[in-house]
Each structure stands twice: as structure tokens, then as C-alpha cells.
Amino acid sequence: MTPAAELRLLRRLGAPGVVMMQDGPDGWAAFPAGDRRRRALARCSNADMRTLLSSGAVTSGAARALTPEGRARLARLRAGDGAFADQHRHIAPPSALRDDAASAPPVNLAESPLGRLARPGADPLLAPAELAAGERLREDLARSTYNARVTMDWSAPPAGKGAARAGGRDPAGAPDAALAARARVNAALDYVAPPLSGALLDFLWRELPLEAVERAQGWPRRSGRLGLKLGLHRLALHYGMVTQG
């Protein structure tokens, strides 16, 4: 597990009540309050779990929580230990990410799935507007999640127009900010449209590797990078970050 991946996992596991549970034969998933009916916040392989367990970062048993040693590790990863932080941080300036840059904090791409496609010092796959669009959607996805239970698979975020809502808790009980974010997510995904919208969710929300995105969408091998770029470009058009050429 890379330091960036470890940081993402420990951050999710560090939230109150979140525990890791076996999720199929090949890995583990983090669930709020150990409730498998709710969306998994993060996933890791069996090998990564063995590493966490041997380092004392998580407890043993069927439901594994962050230990004091794990919280100390998380604090070091968050704050950085000098050279470690500099080595594993890739800070994108606000001006490269959004139009309200004056009030927006810098984004650490080492903590973002988009960091895989925006490595410093390499020929960038993504234009600044495409990177900004992806980060904006990720922000709204995080704000829109309020754990409403519905009959559809809510391990995924809203899938755009026509998503089923019957049989669950009334979405009106969600905070106004969450409802507004959900509306923005739905509008963005409707504009991008399948299959590109599904690929964006797989990569940005579920944080699947490119190979898994290709399999999930039925795409040819090594086509995921181009598919994600096309989806992010559509997203940038929706947000008005670029104009139709």
C-alpha cells in the first residue's frame, strides 16, 4: 500500500464508529458503525490488512477499529514528518482547480484518485479544467452522502436522473446542504451520461484502479485513461470551466 493509499484508508477508519469488516474473500471494507447495509467508506486487500494488523494500526477480530498506534500513524501521515510529507505531497494550487480560487484551499492530489493521473514532473494527462472538474464532483459527492436507505444499491452515490428512491428514509430529512449537493451531483452525472458517468463514479468515488474501471464498464484494456479524460472533459463543460470547441 502506498503512503497516499494508507492515508486515505486511515482517514476513513479514523472517523467515529467506523470499523473494517471482511468483504468477500479478497479484501476488507470500512463501514460506519459496522453496518454492511451502508456504503463502504474504503476498501483494502487481505495483504494490506495483514500489514495494518502486524503494525498494530488496527485491532484484531471480525470488526477491526483503529488503535492508538493507528491514530498516531494517521497523525504523522496527516501532519507529515518533514521529508516524508514533502516526498508524498503533491499540492495543486487553488487557481488550477476552481474558479473561486481566492477562497479555496490547495488540494493535496496525493490524497485524491486524480493524483494517479496528475503526477508532478510527468506529461500530464489531464488539463487543469478537467482536474478541477473532477475535484468539484468529488466534493459534492462527499457532501451529498447522508446515508438514506433505499431499495437500490446505495453502496454507490446518486446515479443521476431516474435513480430509485422508494422504500427508504425520506430524503427531506437530510440537511439542505446535502440535498443541494445531491442535486448538483445528479445534474452533473446526467450531463456526462453513461457510460462515462459510471466510469467517473467508479474512479472518483469508489476509488477503483483503472483496470477495475475498464472491467466494470466493459471497456478494452488500457482504454480507461482515455475514457476518464473524456468523462472529465464532459464534466468541465457542464461546470462551464471550458467551452465547446
What would the pLDDT profile of 10-19 be if each residue is shown by its tens digit? 888 888 888 9
Q: How far apart are CA 132 and CA 149, in angstroms?
A: 30
DSSP-derived pairing of the beta strands 18-22 and 63-64:
antiparallel
Report how many domains make up the chain. Answer: 2
Q: Tens of pLDDT along 30-51?
A: 998 888 888 888 899 999 999 9
56 — alpha (psi -120 to 50), left (phi > 0) or beta? left
Q: Tens of pLDDT along 95-111?
A: 344 443 333 344 555 56
How many C-beta atoms surround the C-beta of residue 196 within 10 A? 20
| Same domain (yes/no): 119, 231 | yes
Between the alpha carbon of residue 106 and those of residues 78, 110, 112, 160, the distances in Å are 15, 12, 12, 29
DSSP secondary structure letter of residue 66:
B
Question: In the listed set 62, 87, 112, which residue is the last one of a domain according to the structure?
Answer: 87
- 205 in a structural domain: yes
Coil vs helix vs strand at 73: helix
C-alpha cell at 172: 427531506
Q: Tens of pLDDT along 61-73?
A: 999 999 988 888 8
The residue range of the domain holding 180 is 91-239
Residue type, position 231, single letter: G
Residue type, position 124, single letter: P
Q: What is the pTM of this model?
A: 0.53
Stretch 188-206: mean pLDDT, rounded?
A: 92
Q: Tens of pLDDT along 153-177?
A: 334 445 454 443 333 444 444 567 7
| Same domain (yes/no): 123, 145 | yes
